[in-house]
Amino acid sequence: MNALFKDRKNLVASVGVLALVVAILCVVIPQALTMRQPDLIHQGPGVTEVRKLSDFFDGIAGTSGDTEVYVLDSGKPGASALLLGGTHANEPAGYLSAVLFIENAVPATGKLYVIPTANASAMSHTDYMEGTPRRFAIDTPAGPRSFRYGSRATSPADQWPDPDIYVHASSGQRLSGSETRNLNRAYPGRVDGTFTEKVAFAITSLIRKEKIDITIDLHEASPEYPVVNAIVAHNRAMKIASIALLNLEMDDIPIGVEPSPTNLRGLSHRELGDATNTLSLLFESTNPAQGRLRGVINEALIVEGKDEMYLAAHKLGRLFVPFGPQGEPLKKRVARHISTTQAVFDAYASEMPERHVLVGAMPSYQELLDKGIGPYLQSPKTAAGAAPRAPQQLAEVPERRGLAQ
């Protein structure tokens, strides 16, 4: 009798736990699935064509690795450049800088290709055990506009399981198994490789087929990471990186230049420069939301970049960049990426004046610091049929130092 009572009690408890789990899943799964929906990105006045990454390698067609490639063609001679945002989808300055180029830029010479979510799968989920918000909002004049905050790596829903050891295919370099889903360890990619290697191969194919002169991979890093507020350049791109550094320093934008290590394999700045004719560079800005020393991660930390723990670490001399009470706001990190991109284009043209990607109608570093990102984003209601904001007045493109026009 006692055993029967105990069994019934266990059964009731089990059914209760099961019901609780089902209830939690009913709330969590629909929320998680919203991350599979891409953010709206408006085609700005300079966009002449929107292609798919699978146009350059059909092995990713129909998968969540396929993504938009925005083309901004001036129709006039010049160089061609590729901007990659969202290689690591938890580094929002790269993603938003790409969005600002798509929604504002008007090239006067040359051709610009922009992929805002280079690893589209990584944008569809968050990192485990980190408690990161799935979204953050930027205030625009027409109201808040929401963007996804994703993960460093491809979603396990698209590539699973991880091996114990990830072996980089063309070099044999061995890394932790989780790096098998890191796009920036997968270059130059493989036709018959993993999901992530196929995405890398599609980007490499685009660079080859479109004869991209300059490739810039936009990233962020934590303040305790040694390479931060920096350009990492392939050896063939070191000269233009150094010229860009001088011009940025003259504009009071402190930045470092690091040569791409020859023995660190799979990264864009190494493999794309080795495997193609492009000049390959990677930028790092400072994102306290990524670091291990941070406190709670929330929308405020992502957007405003203020953190008491990093302030304390700075006072103890433990960081590689200055970190004050004003933090490292997203608008400043985006301003840094946009200014550095244009400084690299100008540096390239200072070597070959006829090969310029002269991009007008972009906000300046100071404008972004003063007004924030919001005024340069389209209305969040544009998707519902509202008229898109008029393009920024096409400001005269300032003559850069050292540029013979």
Closest listed residue to residue 117, CA positions, set 224, 266, 217: 217
Give the binding range for Zn ion (CB under 5 A) out of 43-51, 68-76, 189-197, 214-222: 214-222
Three-state SS for 269? helix
What's the min distance (Å) between Cβ of 268 and Zn ion? Answer: 10
What's the min distance (Å) between Cβ of 354 and Zn ion? Answer: 33
Pairing of strands 358-360, 106-109: antiparallel
Nearer to Zn ion, 205 or 285 (CB): 285
Total interface residues for Zn ion by CB under 5 A:
3
Query: Tokens 């979510």 identify what position?
Result: 117
What's the min distance (Å) between Cβ of 219 and Zn ion? Answer: 3
Tokens of 31: 């929320």
Nearer to Zn ion, 88 or 356 (CB): 88
Nearer to Zn ion, 122 or 138 (CB): 122
Closest listed residue to residue 348, CA positions, set 243, 194, 259, 266: 243
| Full 3-state SS string of 238-266 | HHHHHHHHHHHHHCCCCCEEEECCCCCCC
Q: How far apart are CA 172 and CA 162, in angstroms?
A: 17
Instruction: List the one residue from 111, 219, 314, 336 that touches Zn ion (CB under 5 A).
Output: 219
Q: Yes or no: say if 71 and 111 are a contact pair by the CB < 8 Å rule.
A: yes
For residue 333, state whether it binds Zn ion (rule: CB under 5 A): no
What's the min distance (Å) between Cβ of 118 and Zn ion? Answer: 10
Nearer to Zn ion, 219 or 389 (CB): 219
Nearer to Zn ion, 88 or 234 (CB): 88
What's the min distance (Å) between Cβ of 349 and Zn ion? Answer: 27
Q: Which of residues 258-277 bind Zn ion (CB under 5 A)?
A: none
Query: Tokens 């284009």 identify what position?
Result: 345
Nearer to Zn ion, 88 or 332 (CB): 88
Q: Which of residues 61-100 bind Zn ion (CB under 5 A)?
A: 88, 91
Backbone angles phi, psi at 158, to 5 degrees: -105, -25
What's the min distance (Å) between Cβ of 189 and Zn ion? Answer: 17
Query: Tokens 């400001």 identify what position?
Result: 395
Binding site for Zn ion (CB under 5 A): 88, 91, 219
